[in-house]
Chain A
Amino acid sequence: MKIITVLKQGVLIVRVEGELDMHSANEFRQTIDNALDNNEAKHILLNLEGVDFIDSSGLGVILGRYKRVSLLQGQMLAAHIQPQVAKIFDLAGLLKIIKVYNNESEALACI
């Protein structure tokens, strides 16, 4: 799995490539947590263009980070979400708490 984090307008952009399962969950969690610890980011924008698989282990990490930014009135957004990943988000109820956009700039414009 490849994860790149970028800080833009106070938003932590997390670009992920690979499969979000129990094998990648720890690295995914630690990368975001480290970036949140070291930056002034209030919101998280997940760019999931390169993610073609997610299961409940991956969702758990996303939910955990959502809870973290929510405590400080931050939002979590997602961009470029693949249809099969969107289906899993929907079933898990994550689409009720995470707003989904076509691309990063649309998402950034809505914060």
Chain B
Amino acid sequence: MAIKNTFRMTFGSLSENVGIARVTAAVFAAQLDFTINEIEEIKVAVSEAVSNSVIHGYGNESGQVELVMNLYEDNVEYIIKDCGRGIADINQARQPSFSSDPERMGLGFVFMESFMDELAIETQVGQGTTVRMIKKVQLNKTH
């Protein structure tokens, strides 16, 4: 399917940038006919993916996170990429309540999975992680 619009941003792995990334993701999604509720879901999913890159990908080290957004006729795609540590056991990381930090709930991937229609994760230890998510516009909506 043809891409109607694309937007790419690269930013430092700082917590300040998580909010900027999710708000940009929401504004980009608003080009399609999403409900406010769906836009909120996109914000949470993107926030989780970018937070993972900043917290787990790079830890306390500085690095770059890339967010690529592609707009299609009836869906929007978000690709969040870091060149950080990678995830050793992705199946374990996707389980609810798995977290490498006791203060965190381990719900990052659960929210991404619940709120988006597709979620794919590519990761390699020492190389980084790429998360790809798609949110589709529901066609049978009534306004």
Contacts and interface: CB of A to CB of B under 8 A. Distances in A.
Interface string A22-46: 1100000100000000000000000
Contacts of B102: 64
B82 interface: no
Contact of B105 (A19, A53, A63): A63
B44 A19 contact: no
B43 A22 contact: no
Instruction: Give the secondary structure class of B's interface.
Output: helix
A55 B44 contact: yes
Interface in B39-91: 40, 43-44, 47-48, 51, 54-55
B19 interface: yes
Interface residues of B, number: 26
B104 A57 contact: yes
Interface of A: 19, 21-23, 29, 53, 55-57, 59-61, 63-64, 84, 88, 91-92
Interface of B: 15-16, 18-19, 22, 37, 40, 43-44, 47-48, 51, 54-55, 99, 101-108, 110-111, 114
